[in-house]
Amino acid sequence: MIGVVGTGLMGYPIAKRLLAAGYPVVVWNRTRERALPLAREGAAVAESVTELAEKSELALVVVSDDEASASVLEQLTSAKRGLDVVNHSTVTPMHARWAHGLCGERGCRYLTLTVMGGPTEAERGELVGMAGGDREVLDRWGEAIGRYVREVVYVGSAEAAAALKLAINSIYFSSMLSVAEALLLAERWGIGYEKFREVADKLWIKVLLDRYAGRLLSEKQPLRFRMRLAAKDMLYAVLAGFSKGQPLPHITAIAQTFLEATTIGGLGEEDYTKVYRFLRSTQADRATSTKSG
């Protein structure tokens, strides 16, 4: 039996893919109602993390952050010796190191398997993974994991796989914010989107516009990745740099922008592409308050 801990935007389609492929799956979610629709797909719904651990040989952890991961790992590993744990959550490398140690002390095996791609890629089985830690877990469960991860690169330690995810994410988020700010700058100078594209499409940056411009400008972007988790990822990248004495000034600025969109903008539960709207409205608000002041 495979246990899925956390049936949020990512955990849900992962559980669904496994069920569709015929694997027996037990799920647990802190807010139980969010796990219940998976029962219709054939999943057992556990009442507790402990019950899930007792029923499972492998537990996939797909939760928000270090704190959530620590909480469920404590419960999983105290419930069952010999459990294999795969952590898909984006966490700090410091947490990944602690988690690997905890599992080892409690007779469990641990693999960090951070993923690139969102809910759509999970649904299609097209995530790309970075793995680190107990490689035997990958060897044993590779076929099941292959149902939702297209390719896995084994990078070494549990903490390396966590750090690499933060590093790669920072390129994605940086690219998205560059496009958002460039669009806003052009717009403020009365340059239409079509003229912007006419030039950009002749340049290598076309790929960035193809990837992000439509999503940033769309009013109806579906929720794929929460703003507060984007802030968390970039804050974790900054912390990971800090713990090695590496300043990351650009990533710090990205973290600050997502943090402000979450706190000041109240957009924490919205899709992270709404950062464009946040920056745009902030500009408009400033203009209004300057005029009225």
Among 68, 137, 200, 254, binds ligand NAP (CB under 6 A): 68
Query: Applying CB under 6 A, what is the total number of residues that bind ligand NAP?
Result: 28
Interface characters, 22-61, with ligand NAP (x: CB under 6 A)? -------xxx--x---------------------------
Shortest separation between residue 232's beta carbon and ligand NAP, angstroms = 7
Shortest separation between residue 33's beta carbon and ligand NAP, angstroms = 9
The secondary structure of residue 230, as a DSSP letter, is: H
Q: By CB under 6 A, tell whether 226 contacts ligand NAP.
A: yes
Helices (H), the chain: 11-20, 37-40, 49-55, 66-79, 93-105, 119-124, 135-145, 158-188, 193-200, 206-217, 227-243, 249-263, 275-292
- The residue at minimum Cβ distance from ligand NAP is 8
State the first-to-last Cα distance of the chain, in angstroms, to the nearest integer.
64
Q: By CB under 6 A, tell whether 225 contacts ligand NAP.
A: yes
Q: By CB under 6 A, tell whether 254 contacts ligand NAP.
A: no
Q: By CB under 6 A, tell whether 79 contacts ligand NAP.
A: no
Beta bridge partners of 218: none
Q: By CB under 6 A, tell whether 89 contacts ligand NAP.
A: yes
Shortest separation between residue 192's beta carbon and ligand NAP, angstroms = 31
The DSSP result for 136-191, as a single string, is HHHHHHHHHHTTTEEEEEEEESHHHHHHHHHHHHHHHHHHHHHHHHHHHHHHHTT-
Please give the single-letter amino acid code of residue 80. K
Please give the single-letter amino acid code of residue 123. E
Q: By CB under 6 A, tell whether 176 contacts ligand NAP.
A: no
φ, ψ of residue 79 to 5 degrees: the values are -85, -30
Q: Of the two residues 225 and 276, which places its CB atom closer to ligand NAP in the complex?
A: 225
Residues found near ligand NAP in the complex (CB under 6 A): 6-11, 29-31, 34, 62-64, 67-68, 71-72, 88-90, 115, 118-119, 224-226, 229, 233
